[in-house]
Amino acid sequence: MSRTPRTGVAPVPEQPRRADAGPPPAAPLAAPAPVTPQGSPTVTPAGAATATPQGSPTVTPSATALARSAAEAAGRLLARPTVGLGDVVPAPVSVRPRPAADLVLPADAAVRVSADPAAREVAEHLAELLRPATGYPLPVADLPTAPGPLQLTLGAAAAPRPTGAAAGDEEGYRLDVDPDGVRITADTATGLFHGVQTLRQLLPTAVESRTPVAERWVVPGGTIVDRPRFPYRGAMLDVARHFFGVDDVCRVLDHLARYKLNHLHLHLTDDQGWRIAVDSWPRLTAVGGRTEVGGGPGGWYTAADYRRIVEYAARRHITVVPEVDLPGHTNAALVAYPELAPDKVAPPPYTGTEVGFSHVDPADERTYAFVADVLGELAAATPGPWLHIGGDEAYKVKGVAYTGFVERVQRIVAGLGRTVVGWHQIAPAGQVDGRVLQWWGTDGDDPTVAEAVRRGARLILSPGNHAYLDMKYTPDTPLGHDWAGLIDVHRAYHWDPATHLAGVPAEAVLGLEAPLWTESVTSMAEIEFLLLPRLPALAEVAWSTPSTRSWAGFRDRLAGHGPRWHAAGIAFHPSPEIPWPAAPPVRHLPRTAPTSRPTHTATSRHLPPAADAPRSPALDQPSPAHTPAPETPQPMPAPVPRANDTRTS
Ligand code: NGO
């Protein structure tokens, strides 16, 4: 069986434009030469003054200067947005376009921000997102009294609440665009951050380029007021079945941030490998970290690695939820420390994909010392409130042995001042304050879980047949599972966490999480292929109110993201359910340094990097080593011919 996701290539014409969009970009912007007035010195892209063969001086401006000149030339033309104000994923609460109030971002724009360290970080993030493609300097400065073209304001008064606003206010924002500028206002830096993600989607597709592009940076005029429906919006990455390094995790965090997801759950331990260093039990990684599914080398995060992930996440307003799966899924730990095994004998390392055969000894006090040490170290390294204790598929630990074990571990977590999360199999165990069950069933009727909710448990929903990102899209998807069914984009989109489980009131639902298990996933390209385009579908289910979302609207809004992912070098599944436009031609301004083929530092072992894409380990982290882009972008994956989609909800 071929394991190569469909990333076929085909030449594509220019992107179809929105009916309300302005004229096509002016052809003279396609190359640097036209920015040089006739009769002035020759302009070359090399970056320094040289002499021509004729002896005349040659001025070689930087890419930034070229971008600025190009933008100024463009600004003289009638500029209209290529994106509508409502073309945002996830769908905002309220969108009021003002077509006469479009903004053209000036080349000398500064980002003005409230004098607050967290808000300032968001402003720096915005500037870092926009600098590569615009080539504009975009300095960040404190807010003056005079308005500027990019303004981030913190403060309750600045963000009037829509009627009935309740949950999610602290993540909400308001975005106003008029010819003088874009103003994002929010109660918190997190709200500002989400507003920045919206602004990013309102700029032309070329904003995703990692090198300067000749483009008119037009933002559609009007006002968006927005806030999330659910407070917990997450994804999970299984780094135990196959290990993924820090750069890969950061890249996944970038995808989450783009769609306003705010939790990344890391499945850190399983039969096939232990991925987090624990000082007090060093063999967990030294021995248990060296294996993975299929016999590959495995790997693990040092304390410094984990800190990098947590900090990278925090800068994107994402909370890391670490999971140590107990009492089952523990073969790697037992190989490292046979004393934890029921028979005190080390099992052989496991690199297959079966489940349910391993467990730590629930009758041995040493097991609880182990759990306390591991969770204690993890809690100390994790700023977020959650500790996930697994609890799934411990088939050989039955009845009170199982519930007794879970209850002791729940108490350990509570003693560490953290909130326990566990797969819904922990439901029969006694309640501890605030405990959260992660439901991954498939039939929507689970009396044991409903009963646990009556006793005070809260829920994160990860229905296997809607939210599991490791399920295949279609029968011929070249990787993934199908035990919970096939999950195409419509299926990922078409459900409601608030009403999904019988006997569970909406107030008990914290939100949803989309798990990506990696038994069959071995590279970043494969992760992205399974993540996109389903992750934005699930993000919209989690963020948007039911009245603002519809399948037809979502398909149309999502379609424009294909060219964005393509421009950013992100692999995705070109699902025939979505009316993808062709990739727009991106006119890169000349480089100042020679292009080298990017080094793929991800743990890709079976697939080449996605399509033609430039690979940057973390998409939004500017680093000269991480910003390669092809001079001539390759075509987008060919959209698969699509059937008429008449599904309306
Ligand atoms: C199940 C199982 C995992 C598998 C996954 C594959 C849960 C919570 N336990 O989900 O061990 O990897 O399915 O889809």
Reading the block at residue 365, the tokens are: 């006090």
Q: Are strands 42-43 and 111-113 parallel, antiparallel or unpaired?
A: unpaired
Write phi, then psi, for 312 (nearest 5 degrees). -60, -40
Q: State which ligand 1 atom lies nearest to the alpha carbon of 440.
A: 8
User: Around Cβ 430, how many Cβ atoms within 10 Å?
Assistant: 14
DSSP 195: H
CA of 491 to the centre of ligand 1 (A): 19
Q: What is the three-state SS of 157-174?
A: HHCCCCCCCECEHHHCEE
Tell me what pLDDT residue 582 has: 78
d(CA 260, CA 244): 23
Residue-wise pLDDT for 359-388, tens only, equals: 999 999 999 999 999 999 999 999 999 999
31 CB near ligand 1 (under 6 Å)? no
> Out of 124, 339, 377, 393, which one is annotated catalytic?
393
392 CB near ligand 1 (under 6 Å): yes
What's the Cα-to-Cα distance from 142 to each of 40, 55, 92, 154, rounded to whole Å? 38, 47, 28, 12
Question: Could you tell me the CA-to-CA distances from 645 to 17, 88, 240, 642 in Å, in that order?
Answer: 21, 21, 38, 8
Q: Hey, where are the domains in the chain? A: 94-226, 232-450+480-548
76: exposed, middle or buried (Cβ count in 10 Å: 0-12, 13-18, 19+): exposed
Domain 94-226 and domain 232-450+480-548, same fold? Reply is no
Task: Give every residue of the chain whose pLDDT is below 70, as ranges.
Answer: 1-79, 145-146, 156-168, 583-649
**H or E stretch covering 325:** strand 319-326
Q: Which two tokens stand for residue 563?
A: 């060219």
Ligand 1 atom nearest to CA at 518: 12
CATH for the 94-226 domain, from 3.40.50.2300, 2.40.50.140, 3.30.565.10, 3.30.379.10: 3.30.379.10
Contacting residues for 491 by C-beta, under 8 A, at least 6 apart:
465, 466, 485
- The predicted-structure confidence for 448-488, as pLDDT tens digits, reads as follows 999 999 999 999 999 999 999 999 999 999 999 999 999 99
pLDDT given at position 63: 58
CA angle 472, 475, 480 (to 5 degrees): 25
| pLDDT at site 22 | 34
Q: Rounded to the nearest whole angstrom, what is the distance from the C-alpha of residue 517 to the centroid of ligand 1?
A: 7
Contact 359, 342 (CB under 8 A): yes
**Distance, CA of 196 to chain centre:** 14
Identify whether 393 is a catalytic site residue.
yes
pLDDT confidence of residue 389: 98
Atom of ligand 1 minimally distant from the CA of 390? 8
Q: What is the best residue among 326, 355, 513 to mutate for testing ligand 1's pocket, by most ligand atoms within 8 Å of CB?
A: 355
141 secondary structure, DSSP code:
E
For the segment(s) 232-450+480-548, the CATH number from 1.50.10.10, 3.50.50.60, 3.20.20.80, 3.40.1190.20 is 3.20.20.80
424 CB under 6 A from ligand 1?
A: no
